[in-house]
Chains A and B, each alone.
Chain A
Amino acid sequence: MALNPWLAIIIWGVIIIVMTGPMLTLPIFWSRRKPDPFRDMPFESGQVPQGEARHRLIMQYYPYLLMFVVFDVVGMFLFAWGISFTKLPLESSAFVILFIVLLGAPLGYALKLALNKENW
């Protein structure tokens, strides 16, 4: 029977949620919930937490995040070309190879910028 594979994926997803959902909702249902400031304190090895928890951000690795966005796009384009590589004549892949080569230079410069710790 040819069932649409996407429907099968949806069924699988529903099964996962149906099976794992109770693992979280049931314990919440039967666990004791009385607000207790000491028990609900964030874990800091017994110390009383001080200051804002959410604001120590490391700017140092921000360039890698930018590079990730760029190469995410590149990767997706390369996959779209890669599927039909063997069916295409080799000449038509020249542009894709040029595409990869062109991105080499900015990658090098971005790495140089990112690795220089004085910049961040």
Chain B
Amino acid sequence: MVVFPPTTPAELVALVIRIITSHTFITVVVFPGFIHLTVVVIFLTWYERKLLARIQLRIGPLYAGGPGGLFQPLADGVKLIFKEVMIPYKASKPLFLGIPVLLVFLSALPFAVIPFGQHWVIANIDVGLVFVFAMTSLFPSMILLFAWASNSKYPFLGGLRSLFQQVAYEIPMWISTLSIVLLAGSLNLVDIVRAQQKIWFIVPAFLSFVVFFISIMAELERLPFDLPEAEPELVAGWYTEASGAIFMLIFMGLYMKLYLMSSLVTVLFLGGWWGPTILPQPVWFILKSLIVATFIIIPRGVYPRIRVDMLIKIGWTRLLIIALANVFLTIILIGTGFMTAWGI
């Protein structure tokens, strides 16, 4: 029997056991919460290094750092934590120190609504998709503020580029998911995955998948859209002045956002946790997300980057129009009863 507040040691132990074995505690702390997220982020940094080394035949990363280079991320972490936190002259201290933590916070918080399995979700809320979009829509202002706070020229230029780029691709991203919402009739991510039991939404909404994928490439500032951190022009873009722990937090935030976006693709288009039952549901989900992440990483080894005005022009004139046209297409498909044949 669990009593609150506990009076005897036995009751305290019972209470602690009750809390630790509760569904909320397990989902928040172990899976899909903190421990899972940390492991995946560390894995992704290792994975990206290895993958790019294979693509570009870089010799170093193939050998450095213990068995398979697995110790390299740990060594990086230790190095960055023990480095000095440098704050540039005349920088705005509260913003410069606060925003890296907020970046991690904002990219980790939406994982609360991502369903990794039928019951493996922290919070099953009705507005899940809009929650994710509301959180990711805060990134441009964070980046602009961080760039402004560092009081340096390169970060400021990079921050402005980043602002315009993310702003240009956010709208196509939202509008392209509208056809998914039309098909599933819900904003709840669990319901959206459930609706894909018979057929993945990538089939009826292929056009919106293309738009969404291109948009998240731009949102994540991945090549060929990595203008905000174009190394030859802007040193390291908006986080040029970030050093030590600040850099580590920003890095973590960016990789978390990469994982967030790939799991969002999995939820919306690739059928989430559905798969043959030989493997448990979360395994399918993580597998699909990592494959999507691979496809987001690969262009970094292959493509050059494009010019900033071209980039913004593509976002507004091509992607937005395609996304809007796709909404009409979906309306026609649903209106003519084409979808009911597929059991959606």
Q: Do chains A and B touch in the complex (CB under 8 A)?
A: yes
Tell whether, in the assembled complex, residue B154 and residue A16 are in contact, meaning their CB atoms are under 8 Å apart. Answer: no
The contact size tier of chain B is 35 or more
Chain B, 195-212, CB within 8 A of any chain A CB: none
Closest chain A CB from B173 CB (angstroms): 9
Identity of the chain B residue whose Cβ is nearest the Cβ of A41 in the assembled complex: B89
Per-residue CB contact flags for chain B residues 313-340 toward chain A (1 = under 8 Å, else 0) read 1001100100010011001001100000
Chain A, 37-62, CB within 8 A of any chain B CB: 37, 39-45, 49, 53-54, 56-58, 60-61
Q: A9-B122, A64-B167, A65-B164 are in contact. Are A42 and B241 (CB under 8 A)?
A: yes
Tell whether, in the assembled complex, residue A15 and residue B88 are in contact, meaning their CB atoms are under 8 Å apart. Answer: no
Identity of the chain A residue whose Cβ is nearest the Cβ of B179 in the assembled complex: A82
Residues in chain A near residue B312, CB distance under 8 A: 61, 64
Q: A11-B28, A40-B87 are in contact. Are A86 and B313 (CB under 8 A)?
A: no
Give complex CA distance A83, B148 in Å: 39
Give complex CA distance A84, B20 in Å: 39
Residues in chain A near residue B101, CB distance under 8 A: 17, 20-21, 24
Closest chain A CB from B129 CB (angstroms): 8
Q: A24-B249, A27-B82 are in contact. Are A42 and B153 (CB under 8 A)?
A: yes
Closest chain B CB from A64 CB (angstroms): 6
Give complex CA distance A57, B331 in Å: 42
Residues in chain B near residue A9, CB distance under 8 A: 109, 112-113, 122-123, 125
Identity of the chain B residue whose Cβ is nearest the Cβ of A27 in the assembled complex: B245
Tell whether, in the assembled complex, residue A5 and residue B124 are in contact, meaning their CB atoms are under 8 Å apart. Answer: yes
Give complex CA distance A42, B152 in Å: 5
Give complex CA distance A1, B119 in Å: 12
Tell whether, in the assembled complex, residue B89 and residue A78 are in contact, meaning their CB atoms are under 8 Å apart. Answer: no
Number of A-B contacts (CB under 8 A): 190
Interface centre among B81, B123, B168, B241 (most CB of A within 10 A): B123
Other A-B contacts than A23-B81, A85-B331, 17 sampled, CB-CB below 8 A, are A9-B113, A12-B111, A12-B112, A16-B34, A24-B100, A27-B81, A27-B245, A40-B86, A42-B151, A53-B156, A56-B156, A68-B171, A71-B320, A79-B178, A79-B181, A83-B186, A115-B313
- Please list the residues of chain A having a beta carbon within 8 angstroms of any beta carbon in chain B: 1, 3, 5-6, 8-9, 11-13, 15-17, 19-21, 23-24, 26-28, 30-33, 37, 39-45, 49, 53-54, 56-58, 60-61, 64-65, 67-68, 71-72, 75-76, 78-79, 82-87, 90, 93, 97, 100, 104, 107, 111, 114-115
- Please list the residues of chain B having a beta carbon within 8 angstroms of any beta carbon in chain A: 22-24, 27-29, 33-34, 81-89, 97, 100-101, 104-105, 108-109, 111-113, 122-125, 129-130, 137, 148, 150-154, 156-157, 160, 164, 167-168, 170-171, 174-175, 178, 181-182, 185-187, 235, 240-241, 244-246, 248-249, 252, 309, 312-313, 316-317, 320, 324, 327-328, 331, 334-335
Can you list 22 A-B pairs with a CB-CB distance of less than 8 A?
Answer: A3-B23, A12-B111, A17-B105, A23-B81, A23-B248, A24-B85, A28-B97, A30-B82, A31-B83, A31-B244, A37-B89, A40-B87, A41-B88, A42-B151, A44-B154, A56-B157, A61-B312, A64-B316, A71-B320, A75-B178, A87-B185, A107-B320
